[in-house]
Copies of this chain bind each other. A is one copy, B any other.
Amino acid sequence: MIGTGIKRGTAELAVLSVLEHGPLHGYEMARRIEQQTKGALHFTLAALYPMLYRMEQRRWIRGSWETSDNGRRRRCYCLTPAGKKKLSPLRQEWSELFQALRRLKKVSHA
C-alpha cells in the first residue's frame, strides 16, 4: 500500500478519474479506487469527505442527496463540465512530475 492514506495531492486525480466513469457517492468511490488499484491506493474516509466538499466548492464535481433502494441517504457526486476539462491537464501535470522525478534519478546517477 502507498504509505498510509493516499499520497498527498493524488487524491483529486483519483476522484475525478473514477467519476469519469459515472456518478458515485463517497463510500463507493473509496471502495472502487481501492479495488481498481488492487489495494495500492487507500482512501481514509475522514479525509475523503472534506475533500469532496472542497472539490464541490471549486465546481469540479456536483453533489446531490439521494435515497437509495434500501432507504439509506447518500450524497451522489458527478463530474461537472469544468471538472471534466480539468482532468486532462491534471493528468498531464502528473505525468510531467513523474518524468521530472525520473530525470532527477538519471542525472544524479550520472
Contact = CB atoms under 8 A, between A and B. Distances in A.
Interface residues of A, number: 35
The 3 closest A-B pairs by CB, nearest first: A8-B8, A37-B100, A40-B100
Contact of A103 (B8, B36, B105, B107): B36
B93 A3 contact: yes
Nearest to A91: B105
The complex is assembled from copies of this chain, and their number is: 2
Residues of A contacting B: mostly: helix
A14 B101 contact: yes
Given A7-B9, A20-B109, A109-B20, A36 B97 contact: no
A46 interface: no
